[in-house]
């Protein structure tokens, strides 16, 4: 019952307008590309349906990924000492296998939700929860990006960028010539506006994807990168020192391919234990 109530709140909460606007804009742009004299429409009229069908499927995948990321639990800390089991879905017998650290760092108790914060977690004022390996709160998806949905967020950005660049190319192919500027704007005004919107979105997504891949390759988060001078476990580190960095390849492999829970205290203290 509680899970259903949380899902209902996620769908119809404050992010409902943002998500609705995103979906409407996506399908309006797709419809424009098919209604104007673009390559997509020409191929459809000739019966060459491979690219039009692939494009629509890719748009659908991007929308599904968008909702998956925006409605997914980003890794909320639900209670003291039980965040691993509940937030990451670890069974009790698996939790018993996680070896304790021989060193300890005093966990800070959150001043808002009064829960002990695991390392790399932060309280989100918008979501009103502490989030494990907090990256940032994204107003685009009206959700936090954290330990559970960060890789899906990056995958969504990659798919969305592919859709936008493909759509930009198709919109550009739909421009027609005219004897005067007035007639050209009258015939191509909608496509021109579409190109402008898609170009701005493409640049935004490209910058977001590039920055996230860069931070992932360093095994750091947006919050840690921007606020390391205020974070207790990073204050004593040098400007170029990152206690979680295990090398670019291992960082990327751990981010995209490791689906288990990581005890960040073990990585921080360099105890040589592999992530669980």
Catalytic residues: 138
* Start-to-end Cα distance in the chain: 31
What's the half-sphere exposure (Cβ side, CA atoms, 13 Å) at 162? 15
CA-CA distance, 270 to 80, in Å (whole number)? 24
Helix 16-35, helix 150-172: angle, nearest 10: 30
In contact, 87 and 78? CB cutoff 8 Å: yes
What distances in angstroms separate CA 62 from CA 71, 84, 98, one per listed residue?
Answer: 14, 29, 36
In contact, 20 and 70? CB cutoff 8 Å: no
Assign residue 120 a region (left: φ > 0; alpha: ψ between -120 and 50; beta: otherwise). Answer: left
What's the half-sphere exposure (Cβ side, CA atoms, 13 Å) at 154? 18
In contact, 139 and 18? CB cutoff 8 Å: yes
Question: Which position has the token pair 């009790």?
Answer: 92
In contact, 70 and 124? CB cutoff 8 Å: no
In contact, 205 and 164? CB cutoff 8 Å: yes
């Amino acid at each position: 019952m509680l899970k259903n109530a949380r899902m209902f709140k996620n769908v119809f909460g404050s992010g409902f307008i943002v998500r609705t606007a995103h979906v409407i804009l996506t399908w309006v742009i797709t419809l424009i590309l098919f209604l104007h004299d673009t390559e997509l429409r020409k191929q459809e009229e000739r019966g060459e349906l491979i690219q039009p069908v692939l494009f629509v499927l890719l748009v659908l995948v991007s929308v599904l990924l968008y909702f998956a990321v925006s409605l997914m639990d980003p890794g909320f800390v639900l209670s003291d000492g039980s965040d691993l089991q509940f937030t990451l879905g670890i069974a009790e017998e698996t939790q018993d296998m996680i070896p304790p650290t021989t060193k300890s760092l005093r966990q800070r108790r959150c001043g808002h939700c009064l829960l002990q914060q695991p390392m790399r977690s932060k309280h989100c004022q918008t979501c009103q929860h502490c989030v494990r390996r907090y990256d940032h709160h994204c107003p685009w998806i009206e959700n936090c990006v954290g330990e559970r949905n960060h890789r899906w967020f990056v995958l969504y950005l990659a798919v969305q960028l592919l859709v936008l660049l493909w759509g930009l190319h198709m919109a550009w192919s739909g421009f027609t010539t005219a004897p005067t500027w007035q007639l050209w704007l009258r015939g191509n005004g909608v496509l021109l506006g579409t190109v402008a919107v898609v170009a701005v979105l493409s640049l935004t997504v490209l910058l977001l994807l590039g920055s996230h891949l860069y931070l992932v390759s360093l095994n750091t988060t947006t919050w840690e990168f921007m606020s390391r001078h205020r974070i207790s476990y990073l204050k004593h580190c040098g400007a170029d020192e990152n206690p979680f960095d295990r090398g670019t390849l291992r960082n990327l492999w751990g981010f995209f391919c490791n689906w288990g829970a990581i005890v960040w205290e073990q990585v921080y203290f360099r105890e040589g234990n592999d992530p669980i």
